[in-house]
Amino acid sequence: MGYFELDTMTAIYAAMLFPLIAMAGNMVFAEFKNVRDTFTLLCAGLTFGSVLVVLSNVGNSITTPVSLFNVFPGVDVAFNVEPLGLMFALIGSGLWILTHIYGVGYMRGNNEKHHARFFACFCIAISSVIGIAFASNMFTLFLFYEILTVSTYPLVAHKGTPDAIRGARVYLAILIGTSIALQLTAVIWTYVLTGTLDFTQGGILDGKVAGWIVPVLLGLYAFGIGKAALMPFHKWLPAAMVAPTPVSALLHAVAVVKAGVFTMLKVGIYIFGIDFLAQTEASEWLMWLAAYSIIAASVVAMFQDNLKKRLAYSTISQLSYITLGMALATSMGVLGGAMAIAMHAMGKITLFMCAGAIYVKYHKTEISQMQGLGRAMPITFAAFFIGSLSIIGLPPLGGSWPKFLLMVGAADTGHYIIIGVLMLSSLLNVAYLLPIVGRAFFLPAPEGTPTKFAEAPLLVWLPPAITAIGCIVLFFYAGALQEFLTPIVSVSP
């Protein structure tokens, strides 16, 4: 046992260290682009491998935290493994490999500048994602949460244009502002109230607080976790779309936003405890706000002509599913939310990579310009179609399961209106995603649009094709995933 324990921790540290080694490699080999990019790919593979080692060692059990540093008495930088975090780490590191391949193709195909700086910041972001995934207390999580914000800022400002700088400012202002003003207050308050910040099954607040403090504290967390893009703190996500597409794909569809909802779930499950939330009904308001966010963001998405902006609003809407799952305060809801992390990641990264492929090949950003483009880029648009279906939640695609579980959760708690909200949202998803594919394939191409097969470079169209297949595969493994995640909702010592 002791041997296993050590091995697991080493693997966790390795998973955090490999991206940093890749970052150093990017700085050293800044001028040798092939060496640099292959080296990063190698490190990405090793990172994923390390997380797999953790998986094979631990499975879906929850390990005891191991402290790396004692920061000050009572507060440690410490890590442990539990299914939710392990799933998040697998998604983050696994998709990094694909995104890196895609990113190399994109950055070269698009003649972007400052490749080394770009990939170096990317690596720090991935390292902090791993840190967030394996954090065993709120302090550690907050530490990596902020490093993630700061390290992604240069990526958003990457182009250096006035637009990019403005977007990056909004990005930083909202994410740092909410996390310092609200989340930090909530974290320290939790610490003062309970004397601990460890993620504990069943929560740590039960019996320590009561009355008005519970919903207020939950509010500080819910709004303070700005990365979850809960309205009205969602504006940073459309603003971040000025970043190059690989950033939008991995970070703003997967890593950063998922770090937000992941934190939300962690707080709900391990700080408050689902039963405590259900008893106090403190999350009732959050459920309605999330429902509002789901509908409102979908409606806004319908009116966006810029493809990436539309996808961003779609993400805001989908993220609120996960917040909703936590706010339902039932095990089905939480499981649904947790599964949505995986399913939405796979679906949305596909969509973003397709958007990037279109931009690399034809420099088109607006949906209205993409009419008839499907004949030239059949693979890209087919992948986009599959990704869309997964986001909408139709079988046989992975995205259908979390919606199903969320509906079960809503039915369990008697919130029938929420079921209506989820259905309406699916319809809205259909309305803003499928026309993009329809226009590309069926509408006549205007003058000047190529009609012969002319796909984006291989490195750019292959990764979205793989993730699209992933969306289908996940449908059949959903049962296994649900079983894997079950320990997070079973309250046991």
Partner 1 sequence: MADTAVVAEHTLRTFKDHLPVLQVLVPFCTAPLIVLLGSRRLAWPLAFIASATALVISIMLMWEVREGGYVAYTLGGWAPPLGIEYRVDAANAFVLLLISAIGTVVLPYAYISIKDEIKARDHTLMYACWMLCFTGLLGMVVTGDAFNVFVFLEISSLSTYVLVAQGAGRDRRALTAAYDYLIMGTIGATFFVIGLGMLYMATGTLNMADLADRIADQGANRTVRSGFAFIIVGMGLKVAMFPLHLWLPKAYTFAPSAVTVFLSATATKAAIYVVMRFTFSIYNPDFSFTNNTLEIIFAPLAIIAMFSASFVAVFQTNFKRMLAYSSVAQVGYILLGISLLTETGLTAAILHMFNHGITKALLFMGVGAYVLRSGGAFYTQIAGLGRKMPITSGAVVIGGLSLIGVPGTAGFISKWILVQAALERAPDNAMFLAIAVAIVLSSLLAVVYVWRAFEVLFLQEPDPNSTATEAPLMMLVPMWIMAGACIWFGFSTEHLYEFAAQAAQGLLDGSQGMMISTGQGGAH
Residue ranges that bind partner 1, judged by CB under 8 A: 69-73, 77, 142-143, 145-147, 150, 154, 157, 160, 165, 169, 172-173, 176-177, 180-181, 184-185, 188-189, 191-192
List, in order, residues 6 or more apart from 279 with CB less than 8 Å away.
Answer: none
Cα distances (Å, whole numbers) of residue 400 to 125, 405, 426, 458: 30, 9, 10, 30
The minimum distance between CB 309 and partner 1, in angstroms, equals 23
Cβ nearer to partner 1, comparing 156 with 237: 156
Burial classification of residue 42, based on how many CB atoms lie within 10 Å of its CB (0-12 exposed, 13-18 middle, 19 or more buried): middle
The minimum distance between CB 247 and partner 1, in angstroms, equals 17
Cβ nearer to partner 1, comparing 181 with 491: 181
The minimum distance between CB 238 and partner 1, in angstroms, equals 20
The minimum distance between CB 75 and partner 1, in angstroms, equals 8
Q: Which of 52, 104, 106, 47 is nearest to 81 (CA)?
A: 52
DSSP string for 88-104: HHHHHHHHHHHHHHHHH
Cβ nearer to partner 1, comparing 96 with 139: 139
410: helix, strand or coil: helix
The minimum distance between CB 468 and partner 1, in angstroms, equals 37
Cβ nearer to partner 1, comparing 236 with 321: 236
Give the H/E segment covering residue 79: strand 75-79
Cβ nearer to partner 1, comparing 213 with 295: 213
Cβ nearer to partner 1, comparing 76 with 82: 76
Show the 3-state SS of 242-259: HCCHHHHHHHHHHHHHHH
The minimum distance between CB 29 and partner 1, in angstroms, equals 16
Burial classification of residue 167, based on how many CB atoms lie within 10 Å of its CB (0-12 exposed, 13-18 middle, 19 or more buried): buried
| Contact call for residues 156 and 243 (beta carbons, < 8 A) | yes
The minimum distance between CB 182 and partner 1, in angstroms, equals 8
d(CA 351, CA 302): 16
The minimum distance between CB 146 and partner 1, in angstroms, equals 5
Q: How many CB atoms lie within 10 A of CB 51?
A: 27
User: What are the φ/ψ torsions at residue 329 (nearest 5 degrees)?
Assistant: 60, 40
Cβ nearer to partner 1, comparing 5 with 146: 146
Cβ nearer to partner 1, comparing 71 with 466: 71
Kind of pairing, strands 66-72 and 75-79?
Answer: antiparallel
Q: Which of 337, 312, 229, 324 is nearest to 286 (CA)?
A: 324
Q: Which of 159, 178, 161 is nearest to 235 (CA)?
A: 178
The minimum distance between CB 92 and partner 1, in angstroms, equals 19
> Residue 455 is encoded by which pair of tokens?
């796909």
Cβ nearer to partner 1, comparing 71 with 278: 71
